[in-house]
Structure 1
Amino acid sequence: MLERIAMDPGSDLDKLERMLAMKERIDGQNAMRQFADALSEARSTIPPIIKDATVDFTSSKGRTNYKHETLAGIAKVIDPILSKNGLSYRFRTDQGQGGVKVTCIIQHRAGHFEETTLMGGADQSGNKNGFQAIGSAVTYLQRYTLKAALGLSAEVDDDAQSVTESAPAQRQPKPEQPAAPNPEAVADGMIAALRGADSEERLKSIWTSEKFKTDLSWLRKQDAERAAHVEAAKDSRKESLKPSISHDLGDEIPEFEGNLK
């Protein structure tokens, strides 16, 4: 119909532009729904990520020892699943203000995409030179923006948290002492709650609840990056809950008086 209108010399160009803009809005809504469906299907298939790397070194502060997943290890697991569902990802990197900023872009073949951004300073741990410190920070932020964008989970992860060894009595917690909350587990639970909200009112209720605010305040102190993941999840869910444009074109379709032969 649009093609016939465009070919008619007597067509009203203003009405044609309005119809094209309306079509673009409807196509955008359809692409967003396809993105959400594909992401949901992919997440239901992606298994927990296995930590395939170990960091172990000793400095003046003591010994640092932890395991973490690598970007290559994550890609090996998720790439075939994302491709099967029409999803892909890429990174955009910027540098400034004494640190680096990495944005992970998840896109569906229908065209809709979403971005997750994190910032951080250069990684000064170990004996890295300046270039290595920046490269390490970029790789770290790529892993975490990708995990946040896809909602990936892993086992208990103390990545980037120093484990300083001291006396044996200090290393071994007392049996009666409860285990300290794990930032990743707390963040994952908060993100799951946000994504489970089925309306903007429910999302607002979760976000403004006393427990949620207390947990988010604690998380910001313990792990600012994971707190940023939670905030990004809230913004993403809020966007996805916005009312869809009605497909009942109704009065929006301009009256056409031209010749459609």
Structure 2
Amino acid sequence: MSAVVEMTPEPRRNRPVAAASPIDIVQNALKSGNVEMYREAVALFKELEGMAARKAFDNAMADAKARIPVIRKNRRVGFDHKSGGDRTEYSHEDMAEIARTVDPILSDVGLSYRFRVASPLNAPVSVTCVLSHRDGHFEETTLTAGRDDSGKKNAIQQVGSTITYLQRYTLKAALGLAAAQDDDGRGSEQEAEPETYTPPPGSITQKQVDFIREALEEKGASVTAFLQWAKVPRIESIPAGRYAACVNAIANFKKA
């Protein structure tokens, strides 16, 4: 007599379900024939794609900032004041030095930059630095300044000088670059400042402070006069919301 063995089926295990990709969502919506569902799926796809591109951009920026060294100030310039007094001298990094330093690093992490220039007749010059990542996300930094009529420049040279100036500063601002310290161009008023200071809440960052200091140096402008114009006791005290206005104002200063 043979025995009959009954097989008990194994309990069904929960298997992980693969999440649908954004393109799968769009394709399924298209197959459904529901126009509204398709529109929502496309909007979701674009949003997710944009988030991924922004994340890739931020990661590339973090990698680049970790590798970009302090930019060397390779140019020394000076000028005499029309009103007399001590000669102003300062050092700065030219566009070629900035590009030589950052271009290989940016290319390695998938970043690139380009400039958009606007110079309407009898109007200030505007330069926009467009910083882009290969995955599609980009950010823009714009500065505007009057034509540089210092020296004996003709009209074309005035525009060219301003464009070069704004290209350097928009790129530095976009990347958050710092230049090597140079105390020769700084006034005694800065050296007299205490070593420690706690800015009020909502003030600009230290990188923005350094950026404003360097811009004032390059223009040969008085820090004291600038602070009086800005109505703040120190550069570190400038509210974050006024940073762009201050940078644009300095860009429009005329060298003495």
| TM-score class normalised by the smaller sequence | 0.5 to 0.7
Aligned residue number for residue 133 of structure 2: 108
For residue 58 of structure 2, the aligned residue among 36, 56, 79 is: 36
Tell me which amino acid in the other structure corresponds to 2:247.
Answer: E
- 1:49-102, Cα deviation, whole Å (9 max, x unpaired): 011112234463454422111111100000000011100001111124631111
TM-score (norm 2): 0.63
Partner secondary structure for residue 147 of structure 1:
helix
Aligned residue number for residue 65 of structure 1: 89
Identity %: 40
Compared CA separation, residues 180 and 54, structure 1 to 2 (3 A): farther
Aligned residue number for residue 218 of structure 2: none
Unmatched tracts of structure 2, length 5 or more: 1-23, 196-202, 210-231, 252-256
1:183-198 correspondence to structure 2 within 5 Å: 189=206, 191=208
Compared CA separation, residues 98 and 227, structure 1 to 2 (3 A): closer
Aligned residue number for residue 165 of structure 2: 140
**Is 1:93 aligned to residue 117 of structure 2?**
yes
**Is 1:74 aligned to residue 98 of structure 2?**
yes
Task: Find the aligned partners of 2:175 and 2:152 in 1 and give their Cα distance.
Answer: 32
Range 108-117 or range 11-20, more displaced: 11-20
Aligned residue number for residue 237 of structure 2: 215
**Contact conserved, 2:116 with 2:128, CA < 8 A, in 1?**
yes
Task: Find the aligned partners of 1:68 and 1:213 in 2 and give their Cα distance.
Answer: 20
Partner secondary structure for residue 124 of structure 1:
coil
Range 110-119 or range 12-21, more displaced: 12-21
Unmatched tracts of structure 1, length 5 or more: 164-170, 193-209, 230-261
Tell me which amino acid in the other structure corresponds to 2:180.
Answer: E
Task: Find the aligned partners of 1:134 and 1:216 in 2 and give their Cα distance.
Answer: 30
- Structure 1 or 2, whichever has the larger Rg, is 2
- 1:136-195, Cα deviation, whole Å (9 max, x unpaired): 111101100100010000123689x8x9xxxxxxx9x69xx71599xxxx9661649xxx
Task: Find the aligned partners of 1:158 and 1:119 in 2 and give their Cα distance.
Answer: 27
Task: Find the aligned partners of 1:59 and 1:190 in 2 and give their Cα distance.
Answer: 29
Aligned residue number for residue 152 of structure 1: 177
Task: Find the aligned partners of 1:14 and 1:75 in 2 and give their Cα distance.
Answer: 48
Partner secondary structure for residue 76 of structure 2:
strand
For residue 42 of structure 2, the aligned residue among 20, 23, 34 is: 20
**Contact conserved, 1:187 with 1:226, CA < 8 A, in 2?**
no
1:40-59 correspondence to structure 2 within 5 Å: 40-58=62-80
**Contact conserved, 2:73 with 2:93, CA < 8 A, in 1?**
yes
Compared CA separation, residues 127 and 213, structure 1 to 2 (3 A): closer
Compared CA separation, residues 189 and 82, structure 1 to 2 (3 A): same
**Contact conserved, 2:178 with 2:207, CA < 8 A, in 1?**
no
Tell me which amino acid in the other structure corresponds to 2:96.
Answer: A
Tell me which amino acid in the other structure corresponds to 1:67.
Answer: S
Q: CA RMSD in A?
A: 3.9
Compared CA separation, residues 150 and 123, structure 1 to 2 (3 A): same
Task: Find the aligned partners of 1:213 and 1:67 in 2 and give their Cα distance.
Answer: 20
Task: Find the aligned partners of 2:246 and 2:137 in 1 and give their Cα distance.
Answer: 28
Tell me which amino acid in the other structure corresponds to 1:119.
Answer: T
**Contact conserved, 2:206 with 2:236, CA < 8 A, in 1?**
no
Task: Find the aligned partners of 1:189 and 1:126 in 2 and give their Cα distance.
Answer: 33
Task: Find the aligned partners of 1:157 and 1:95 in 2 and give their Cα distance.
Answer: 32
Task: Find the aligned partners of 1:61 and 1:213 in 2 and give their Cα distance.
Answer: 26
For residue 120 of structure 1, the aligned residue among 136, 145, 153 is: 145
Task: Find the aligned partners of 2:234 and 2:45 in 1 and give their Cα distance.
Answer: 40
| Aligned residue-pair number | 193
Range 127-136 or range 58-67, more displaced: 58-67
Task: Find the aligned partners of 1:158 and 1:134 in 2 and give their Cα distance.
Answer: 30
Task: Find the aligned partners of 2:170 and 2:114 in 1 and give their Cα distance.
Answer: 11
